[in-house]
Amino acid sequence: MFEFVVRRLLWLIPVIFVVSIITFVLMHSIPGGPFDAEKALPQAIIDNLNAKYHLDDPLWKQYVDYMWGFVRFDLGPSIAYRSRTVNDILAQQWPVTAMLGLASFAIAVFGGIPLGIISAVKQNSLADYTSMGISMLGLSIPNMALGPLLIWVFALNLKWFPVATWGSPIHVVLPAITLGTAYMASFARLTRASMLQVVREDYIQTARAKGVRHTTVMLKHALRNALIPVSTIAGPSFAGIMTGSMIVERIFAIPGIGKYYVTSVGNRDYPVIMATTLVFAIAVVLMNMLVDVSYGILDPRIRYN
Amino acid sequence: MKKVWLLGLILTLLIGVLAVGQVKTLYWNLGTEPPSLDPNTATDTTSIQVLQALFVGLTDFDDATMAVVPELAMHWEASEDGLTWTFYLRDDVYWTDGTPVTAQQVEYSVKRTLNPATGSSYAFVLWMIDGAEAYNTGEVESADGVGVKALGDYRVRFTLNQSAGYFPAIAGMWVCRPLPITVVEEYGDAWTNAENIVTNGAYKLGEWVHEDHMILYKSETFYDADKTNIHVVYCYMIEEASTAMTMYEAGDLDADENPPLEDMDRIKADPVLSAELHTAPDLCTYYYGFNNEKAPFDNPLVRKAFASAIDRQSLIDYILKGGQKPAQTFVCPGIFGYIDGVAEGIGYPYDPEVAKQFLADAGYPNGEGFPEVTLMHNTSEGHSKIAQFIGQSFMDTLNVTVNIVNQEWKVYLATCREDAPQIYRMGWCADYPDANNWVNEVFNSESGSNYANYNSPDFDALVEQAARESDPAVRLDLYRQAETLMCDTDAGIVPIYFYTMVKLTKPYVVRTYAALGGEHWEQWDILPH
């Protein structure tokens, strides 16, 4: 297993290389630059700005310089936020996103998986229809509708929670529900479907034939195996949820990293585009690695060599 | 013992309540994280709002009259030829670290803005200062030749390379505001971080949690601190307009500077909200440019036909709904040099018959043989609605085919710069309240913002003469001629409407409205509520 993890970590190097090259080439090939504005600047001013941010160097040199900084954890200055470095932005904004992400993921996992189990165990019962109904709703309501709806009901009318902004545990509740609901719904449906598939397997029939109680069969024998597809989805979902949601952060005025994924492209803030993309790529690789490790725990038949 | 403890608690609470009762806090929404608090590099309205509170300028604008009024400079004088300007500074203005604000700090700031290494986007507004352009563009290495000089601690002299009657407005801009030299030198770009910054304005920076909030406290070292009523300005950074609106309605914000368009009908119908609504002219103009070099829009008759086919009032009534004013000339009301084109008959009002006649005169009777037209705007729901309305109007009136295309903002700017489409959308907002900032800086044939490729030597001569002229009556007449040439005779562009600002403010806030941006919180008050 140790060897497996090391091997997967080494894979990060080519992944970062490929992702960084593609991102770098793409962002420099879209028209417009960081200093284009409605009020066109004189060329001399643009030249000064390009010189300040070394954008007048040949592209290959800009790339090499960036990557040399990257390996030393120096992600460069933000062009749009003059007094802040990209390191500052990640250090100040990412923890907020991570906290929201953890809370949302907890809702998704601890809400979604039990809902799926109940549905599977009581297939075609009222409980099944109810929890699948909830899941269907959760999947179909987009964040940009659910967020304002929760604000209207629970903040504006019932006054249980603040309308928006960040700062205390109570501020986390509504955005975490908004962000976590869709994930919860898809986890619930996936858990139910794979549980129902697993219960038809021979080893479950064997367990039943031996007289093991229904609940024990379901929770001990079926669930573990049924969680394999769930964890396959959960890994990339976790990477996504931990790198922020532009929409939820915007609706609730949360100082997270999500908006930088979008605004950095609009601003042509090259160092921020590179950093946010690479962080996401690394998160996806690490999460997929965790997923693969979890397979071995969930299903003893899986080996790592 | 127990009683003493209880008495102590009650006393503490009482003092606390009394103290809190005296603290007036304004809950404000900046709308986004301010990109820069460095007066030399800030370019956007959010940063400038905060800078206005933190740093004094040589001059300021009166919100009611938009006249240039004294601030750090008590008064100023210009030489006969209008090339030398001397500003006399107050001697009672201090930084938050207790040191005095001096003329050397003004000189330092101007030279730092112009230093190519600073990378200041707005440095070019100072190119009228002698030697400024050469230093800023790297022609000369030394800042010694720049025409700004501190004469002692409280007098600063500017030498210009052209006479400019509007120079006092430029001198008050953030790029000229005095800087705390030792702090800037010590911390470099990080000098504006909350733990390093030293300021001299009505407010000081207390806390800056990026993307979340910023707390400004009344500065006791401010020279006019006695008149500052509001002790704390708590600035949120809420980007989503509907969230800010909800917080305003929940009482978490004292003002909403940008209520969502889709709520306008509801706000106007609501007895409480409509009373808190304030609509006033904003110093911006929305216009469509024609690429004057691209056939068939290289023919003035074609441009006139399209200019006459826009029903501005219906656009305002049914699409925009913000009480905007129809525009037939470029410079907006409130700016020196504004000409009321609608009243004076300059430019082209909506007249379908006239529009058809112009097109027929151009050789396309009833639109026959007219090539397909591209109307382009940057991607945005608002611009799209306007383009649909106007594009439809072109098609119905002129019987031509209009393709509406949109592009992402910076892609769009690159397109306009390199080869603008036949019709493009653009807007312009004032940097300082003078028509020079408009007709000359935008549509001079040399201007980088002249995407229309409007090229008229007569127009250039008029706006350049107006820039040098000092007699207001003569200048106004020159701008009238320039507007007539551009918006009527040549129909180089078609102005569409003058912006309005729509703001909601709680009734207990006594406030002013800064048309040029940068609200004067130090002049506001909060009544008991």
The number of helix segments (H) and strand segments (E) in chain A equals 13, 0
The predicted model gives A195-202 an average pLDDT of 89
Residue A117 has pLDDT above 50, yes or no: yes
CA distances from B287 to B312, B424, B425, B452 (A): 11, 8, 6, 11
A292: contact with B, CB 8 A cutoff: no
Residue A61 to residue A64: CA distance in whole angstroms? 5
Interface TM-score (ipTM) > 0.90: no
Greatest C-alpha distance within chain B: 102
**Cβ distance B213 to B236 under 8 Å?**
yes
Q: Inspect the interface and report whether the beta carbons of A164 and B246 lie closer than 8 Å.
A: yes
Sheet (strand B155-159) strand order: B73-78, B84-89, B155-159, B148-150
B36 and A45 within 8 Å at the Cβ level: the answer is: no
Nearest-Cα distance to chain B for A32, in Å, is 5
**Minimal CA–CA distance to B296: which of B388, B377, B364?**
B364
Residue B115 CB burial class (10 angstroms; 0-12, 13-18, ≥19): middle
d(CA B4, CA A6) in angstroms, rounded, equals: 67
- The answer to whether the CB of B454 falls within 8 A of the CB of B487 is no
Q: Which of A86, A163, A168 to mutate to test the interface with B (most CBs of B within 10 A)?
A: A163
Chain B residues with CB inside 8 Å of A252's CB? 243
Q: Which pLDDT does position B21 carry in this prediction?
A: 54
Contacts of B413 in chain A (CB under 8 A): 32, 36-38, 40
Interface of B with A in 128-187 (CB under 8 A): 133, 136-138
**How many CB atoms lie under 10 A from the CB of residue B231?**
15
Q: Which amino acid is at B106?
A: V
- The rounded distance, in Å, linking the Cα atoms of B375 and B288 is 9
Show Cβ contacts of residue A110 under 8 Å, excluding neighbours closer than 6 positions: none
B249 touching A, CB under 8 A? yes
Asked if the model's pLDDT at residue A17 lies above 80, the reply is yes
Cβ <8 Å between B189 and A83: yes
Let me know: does A171 contact A165? Beta carbons within 8 Å: yes
Q: Is B76 helix (H, G, I), strand (E, B) or coil?
A: strand
A77 interaction partners in chain B (CB closer than 8 Å): 189
| A31 contact residues in B (CB cutoff 8 A) | 410-411, 414-415
Which residues of chain B lie closer than 8 angstroms to A83, CB-CB?
36-38, 189-193
A40 and B117 within 8 Å at the Cβ level: the answer is no
Q: Does A149 touch chain B (CB under 8 A)?
A: no
Question: Binning pLDDT at 50, 70 and 90, where does residue A63 land?
Answer: very high
Check A255 against B428: CB less than 8 A apart: no
Residue B85 touches chain A, beta carbons under 8 Å: no
User: Does A52 contact chain B (CB < 8 Å)?
Assistant: yes
- For residue B368 the two structure tokens come to 């026959």
Query: Nearest 5°: CA angle at B110, between B108 and B112?
Result: 65
Interface with A, mutate which of B44, B410, B449 (most A CBs under 10 A): B410
Cβ B249–A156 below 8 Å, yes or no? yes
Of B117, B236, B409, the CB nearest to A165: B236
Judge: A83–B193 Cβ closer than 8 Å, yes or no.
Answer: yes
Subunit contact A82:B117, Cβ cutoff 8 A: no
| Distance (Å) from the alpha carbon of B398 to chain A's nearest alpha carbon | 30
Per-residue pLDDT of chain B (529 residues; tens, 9 = 90+): 445 554 554 544 445 444 545 799 999 999 999 999 999 999 888 999 999 999 999 999 998 888 899 999 999 999 988 899 999 999 999 999 999 999 999 999 999 999 999 999 999 999 999 999 999 999 999 999 999 999 999 999 999 998 888 899 999 999 999 999 999 999 998 899 999 999 999 999 999 999 999 999 999 999 999 999 999 999 999 999 999 999 999 999 999 998 988 888 899 999 999 999 998 888 999 999 999 999 899 999 999 999 999 999 999 998 888 889 999 999 999 899 999 999 999 999 999 999 999 999 999 999 999 999 999 999 988 899 999 999 999 999 999 999 999 999 999 999 999 999 999 999 999 888 889 999 999 999 988 899 999 999 999 999 999 988 878 899 999 999 999 999 999 999 999 999 998 999 999 999 999 988 889 999 999 999 8
- The interface residues of chain B toward chain A in range 289-348, judged by CB-CB distance below 8 A, are none
Would an 8 Å CB–CB cutoff place A28 in contact with chain B?
Answer: no
List, as ranges, residues 397-456 from B with C-beta within 8 Å of A. 408-415, 417, 426-428, 431, 447-449
Q: Are A37 and B121 inside 8 Å of each other by CB? A: yes
Q: Which is nearest to A255 in space by CA: A175, A201, A190?
A: A175
Choose, out of A28, A35, A39, the residue to mutate when testing the contact with B (most B CBs < 10 Å).
A39
Place of tokens 């806030």: B509
Contact A163 B246 (CB under 8 A): yes
pLDDT at B8: 52
> Closest to B137 (Cβ–Cβ): which among A31, A44, A163?
A44
B448 vs A contacts (CB less than 8 Å): 40-43
What's the pLDDT score for residue A22? 97
Q: Do B36 and A82 touch (CB under 8 A)?
A: yes
**Which of B30, B40, B240 to probe the A interface (max A CBs under 10 A)?**
B240
Whether B445 and B456 have beta carbons less than 8 Å apart is answered as yes
Of A49, A89, A151, the CB nearest to B119: A49
The pLDDT of residue B4: 52
Residues 6+ apart with CB under 8 A from B70: B59, B60
Q: Which burial class, exposed, middle or buried, applies to A131 when counting CB atoms under 10 A from its CB (0-12, 13-18, 19+)?
A: buried
Structure tokens at B159: 């030498």
The closest CB to that of A48, out of B116, B189, B212, belongs to B116
Q: Which residues on A lie below 8 Å from B118 (Cβ)?
A: 48, 52
Nearest to B158 by CA among B176, B140, B139: B176
Which residue of B36, B250, B412 is in closest CB contact with A83? B36
> Rounded to 5 degrees, what angle do the CA atoms A151, A156, A157 make?
115
Q: Is the peptide bond before B296 cis (omega within 30 degrees of 0)?
A: yes
Q: What is the pTM of this model?
A: 0.87
Q: Which residue of B has its CA nearest to A252?
A: B243
How many Cα atoms sit within 13 Å of B528 on the Cβ side? 3
Would the CB atoms of B211 and A151 count as touching at under 8 Å?
A: no
Nearest to A170 by CA among A178, A157, A180, A161: A161
Does A92 reach chain B within 8 Å, measured CB to CB?
A: yes
What is the predicted pLDDT for the residue at A305? 60
Kindly state whether A32 is in contact with chain B, defined as any CB-CB distance less than 8 angstroms.
yes
Does A53 contact chain B (CB < 8 Å)?
yes
Q: Which residue of A lies nearest to B135 if distances are taken between CA atoms? A: A44
**AA identity, residue B264:** M
- Please report residues of A whose CB lies closer than 8 A to that of B427: 38
Decide if A259 and B117 are in contact by the 8 Å CB cutoff: no
Query: Residue B75 in contact with residue B154, Cβ under 8 Å?
Result: no
Asked if the Cβ–Cβ distance from B411 to A31 is below 8 Å, we say yes
| B47 closest CA partner among B517, B410, B431 | B517
